[in-house]
Structure 1
Amino acid sequence: MTKSYMNLDVTYQFAVEMLKNKEPQEIARNAAVEYYPETSEFSVKYLGGTFLVSFNDGTVEPVEEIKVSLTEKILILHYLNTANGAPLQGKFISFKELPDGAIYIEPFTRRTIKPMLKLFAERQEEFVELAKTIGAEIQDLGDTSVTIYPFPKVPITYVIWSGDDEFPASGNILFDASAPFYLPTEDYALVSGLVIYQLGSLLQNSK
């Protein structure tokens, strides 16, 4: 992970301070989330769950009884801080096309594409069915592909090509061209992997 995630407490506090310096109604509009003035809280959809984020002190709490890591709390705050309301463009770009993405392509591939193929290259039907449980949309790329929205304005498309006797299975992870307006590049490496991790947990629980 890049330097900003090396000290999580500092990164979290920095994100909290950034949030305080913004206008809450504008944040809500740009990020497509709800804001409740009576409690000064945002309601944020993240990976199928709902989280309440305090505008006053930046606390992030799940509505459901689920665990949320400090890293994920930072990710949610980064989404609120970065989102600028840009419309989705409907054009796919690769991780390398994100700002500075080429620099981090090796760790991105190691943490996202390789685990996806290890878990699902031979279980593509299960991949689709599990992805549907967190709101995935089916695509027509590769042999199997789905678009998952970890945040309301952040579609991520997972693509798998089946292997054969000559070539192993391969895959890619694609983003909407508006992606730089919603999260920093390093966060796309993080959240793309977290989606695969969640699908892997669902797979394990289904056995």
Structure 2
Amino acid sequence: MNYTAAFEKSVAHFQEMSLAEIEKFSGYPVQGNQIKLNFLGQHFRVEYPSAKFEPEPQVEGELPIFARILILHYLCNQTEKSLTGQYISYKELPGGGIYNQPFSNRAIRPMVEHFGGNPEKLLKAAQPIGGTPVKLGDVAVTLNVFPKIPVTLVLWQADEEFPASGNILFDRSASELLPTEDYAVLASFVVMALKKYSG
């Protein structure tokens, strides 16, 4: 994927929005010409209309371009739809069935490989970035990656018959907020962040 072209397109869309619309639909506060946001434990100010990302406090290196694209896509959503509280899997998103295997390879398999042998480690890794335990599988945690986009990671421990397994779930309203392909990128980024926090 050409991330540079995708970033430029997402910046152009961002610049078509007004600050009032961004604040209304995203759930993030606007101060002056900046949107203040928390993304998986990292705090940023996004300047409008330049789409310049300023980390708080300053950290080494930039936020990866695909993460900046995701954030801009979310800031440009124009839905007032509320969370339903109902879980769906990736394959239930529009067109998700076609890409379910790549999604699994990109996000679910790395999660299971890293946390499957010790599911409690998932809960500990999620804690510093606001993860909340939920009653699914053997261990599950929900991260509010964006105000309107919770991501729920579920693990089942291995037993005598089956190896460890897992799933990554979204709210039924997910397709109203981001395109399906963004959820594959988002889920893999969440798993990478959790692996980092797990030490």
TM-score range (shorter-chain normalised) is: over 0.9
Tell me the residue number matched to 2:75.
80
Contact 2:126–2:197, Cα closer than 8 Å, also in 1: no
Aligned-pair CA distance for 1:83: 4.8
Aligned-pair CA distance for 1:181: 2.1
RMSD: 1.2
Aligned-pair CA distance for 1:76: 0.8
State the aligned residue count: 197
Aligned-pair CA distance for 1:41: 1.2
TM-score of the aligned structures, taking structure 2 as reference length: 0.94
1:46 aligned to 2:44? no
Contact 1:20–1:56, Cα closer than 8 Å, also in 2: yes
Contact 2:73–2:178, Cα closer than 8 Å, also in 1: yes
Q: Could you tell me which of 112, 116, 127 is aligned with 1:117?
A: 112
Tell me the residue number matched to 2:186.
191
Q: Secondary structure of the equivalent of 1:172?
A: strand
Q: Could you tell me which of 31, 48, 53 is aligned with 1:55?
A: 48
* 5+ residue gaps, structure 2: none
The AA in structure 2 aligned to 1:133 is P
Aligned-pair CA distance for 1:126: 1.5
Point out 4+ residue stretches in structure 1 off by more than 3 angstroms. Answer: none
Q: Could you tell me which of 144, 156, 161 is aligned with 1:161?
A: 156
Between 18-27 and 88-97, the greater mean CA deviation after superposition: 18-27
TM-score of the aligned structures, taking structure 1 as reference length: 0.91
Aligned equivalents of 2:162 and 2:40: distance in 1? Answer: 33
Aligned-pair CA distance for 1:112: 0.7
